[in-house]
Amino acid sequence: MNGLTAAFIAMLRRDLLLAFRHRGELANPLLFFLMIVTLYPLGVSPEVELLRRIAPGVIWIAALLAALFSLENLFRSDFEDGALEQMLLSPQPLSMLVLAKVIAHWLVSGLPMLLLAPLLGLLLAMPDKAMSALLLTLALGTPLLSLIGAIGVALTVGLKRGGVLLTLLILPLYIPVLIFATNAVTASAAGMPIEGQIYFLAALLVLALTLAPLAIAAALRISVS
Amino acid sequence: MWLFFHKLASPRYFYDISGKLIPWVGALCLGTMMYGLYLGLVVAPPDYQQGESYRIMFVHVPAAWMSMFIYTLMAVLSAINLIWNIKLADVMANSSAAIGASFTFLALVTGSLWGKPMWGAWWVWDARLTSELILLFLYLGYIALVSAIDDKRTAARAGGVLILVGVVNIPIIHYSVEWWNTLHQGPTVTKLDKPSIHLSMLVPLLVMAVAFKLYYLAVVLMRARVEVLDRERRSAWVQELFGAADSR
């Protein structure tokens, strides 16, 4: 095992371990996700026909906000205790280390959202045939949210009140994901093919996987210097 | 040629040359804008479908072009700053942001003024409008980020990364909203074959586009001059220009 792989795995393990030591915090983004979805039937209308129609959008918007919420602390504690500086000084490429962190973040926030989604689909009376499309778009889309969001987090990590700023920076960049994903779910509910949207999400994911780590690393170097 | 660029990149030389340039560019801008408005508002015939209200496009279309042009330019300048560490590129990118945002805003406002008689609504979630609105958010995000970071150098580099990420996203946003929903009329000028717009309308449009470019150049130079002075206030040449009294 060469140095880079070892460092990558060590980083991944460390972040997962840290997440599991704070089990309470682990559930927070998920509860947030669930809460937002609950607000829609209360705020808009509990009528089944309407809920069925807006379900893809509601679940996706909730996923976007939950991702934003959970991302905020991605680099914060490392920045505060100096671990981030050690990463910057490490001989391993920073982009790979942050990729490990982002993957760890997705495993503890994106993946549980994926598992929770069928339940939410059920609550919003989503048709069964759209369910698989929803899971597919979430599987491709939530890693994208983590990757894009991490760029914004890296840019704002040195700031005192980065939270609102983060929203302003990241949500415009999330829009394509939202559009393709909800489009796919709606199309599949109407019985139409969804390959086009899925391929697009997959292409975006590949693009983000290659470019986002570089941008995150550059942003971290700027923020910490 | 290279020597000229190197000299231009030095703040002091830039300050001198932009000071000489601004009155000329400003006068030229005023001239072309008057001419373009005259052609567009008086000479050009009314449209056979849209009547007189199409004339708003002589402001709307150049503003929309500028909004995208400035963003692209900022991306190029940010890349120059990130790669070669040229201070002036960052000053220009920084000074461009607010102008770009205001052009985007102008395009949105004129678009909705035009949309009311044409589509019967101030705002529709049409592809062009939506992507223009997101462009405005990207500008505002950049401005917010840059103003949240105290150190100018750090702010510039962070903003540069954000702009570059945004520029990757712009075509994606553009096409995603286009496929998602569209009502806006198709392109009439930037087609590879003959423009489908009549010459009497195309000429004022292009004149206005040039006038807007000149306006941008004049304003960005003015803003950049102030920015340069602010950043270089401790350097010898600024103190020489204004006396050491107010530099402290």
Between B163 and B238, the higher pLDDT residue: B163
Which band of pLDDT confidence, cut at 50, 70 and 90, is reported for residue B247?
A: very low
Query: Which tokens in the block code for residue B86?
Result: 């040229």
Give the C-alpha separation, A186 to A194, whole Å: 9
Amino acid identity at B31: G
Partners of A165 on chain B (C-beta within 8 Å) are 141, 144-145, 148
- Sign of the CA dihedral with B224 first, then B226, B228, and B231 last: negative
Residues 142-201 of B with CB under 8 A from A: 144-145, 148-149, 154, 157-158, 161-162, 164-166, 168-169, 172-173, 176-177, 179-180
Share of chain B above pLDDT 90, in %: 18
When CB atoms are compared, the residue of A165, A211, A223 closest to B144 is A165
Those of residues 153-182 in A touching chain B at CB distance below 8 A are: 155-156, 158-159, 162, 165, 168-169, 171-173, 175-176, 179-180
* The pair of three-digit structure tokens given for residue A22, joined into one six-digit string: 């704070």
Q: Is the dihedral of CA B157, B162, B165, B166 positive or negative?
A: negative
More confident residue, B191 or B147: B147
Looking at the complex, report in whole angstroms how far the Cα of residue A163 sits from the nearest Cα belonging to chain B.
12
Question: Is residue A123 within 8 angstroms of chain B, CB to CB?
Answer: no
Q: How confident is the model at residue B114, as a pLDDT?
A: 82
Please give the residue of chain B at the shortest CA–CA distance from A187. B180
Single-letter residue type at A98: V
Considering only CB atoms, which chain A residues are within 8 Å of B166? 172-173
User: Residue B248: which pLDDT band, with cuts at 50, 70 and 90?
Assistant: very low
Which run of H or of E encompasses A63?
helix A48-71
Confidence (pLDDT) at B86: 82
Task: Please tell me the predicted confidence (pLDDT) of residue A107.
Answer: 92
Q: Are B35 and B43 a contacting pair, CB within 8 Å?
A: no
Interface contact flag, B82 A171, Cβ < 8 Å: no
Q: How confident is the model at residue B193 (pLDDT cuts 50, 70, 90)?
A: low
* Position with higher pLDDT, B129 vs A153: A153
Q: Angle CA(A103)–CA(A108)–CA(A114) in degrees, nearest 5?
A: 95
Please tell me the least confidently modeled range out of B30-34, B36-40, B80-84, B137-141: B36-40
Copy the structure tokens of residue B46. Answer: 């009314």
Distance from CA of B173 to the nearest CA of A (A): 6
**Token duo for residue A24:** 């309470």
SS3 label, residue B47: strand
Residue contact A207–B168, C-beta within 8 A: yes
The token pair at B61 is: 């279309």
Query: Which residues lie below 8 Å from residue A186, measured CB to CB, with a gap of 6+?
Result: A56, A130
Q: Which of A172, A176, A207 sits opposite B176 (nearest CB)?
A: A176
What is the reported pLDDT for B1? 62
C-alpha span between A31 and A174 (Å, rounded): 21
Predicted confidence at residue A203, as pLDDT, reads 93
Per-residue pLDDT of chain A (225 residues; tens, 9 = 90+): 678 888 888 889 998 888 888 887 788 888 999 999 999 989 988 888 888 888 889 999 999 999 988 888 888 888 888 888 888 888 888 999 999 999 999 999 889 999 999 898 888 888 888 888 999 999 999 999 999 999 999 998 888 777 788 888 899 999 999 999 998 988 888 888 888 889 999 999 999 999 999 999 999 988 887
Maximum alpha-carbon separation in chain A: 58
Cβ contacts of A216 on chain B, cutoff 8 Å: none
**Which backbone phi and psi does B209 adopt, to 5 degrees?**
-60, -40
3-state secondary structure of B52: coil
H or E stretch covering A116:
helix A111-123
CB-based contact B161 A222, cutoff 8 Å: yes
> Do B157 and B82 touch, CB atoms closer than 8 A?
yes
Q: Which helix (H) or strand (E) holds B37?
A: helix B11-38
Mean predicted confidence (pLDDT) in B53-72? 86
**How many Å apart are CA A64 and CA B111, to the nearest integer?**
29
Whose CA is closest to B160, among B104, B89, B246?
B89
Check CB contact of A203 with chain B, cutoff 8 Å: no
Q: Of B22, B45, B29, B60, nearest to B212 (Cα)?
A: B29
Bridge partners, B51 (sequence order): B47
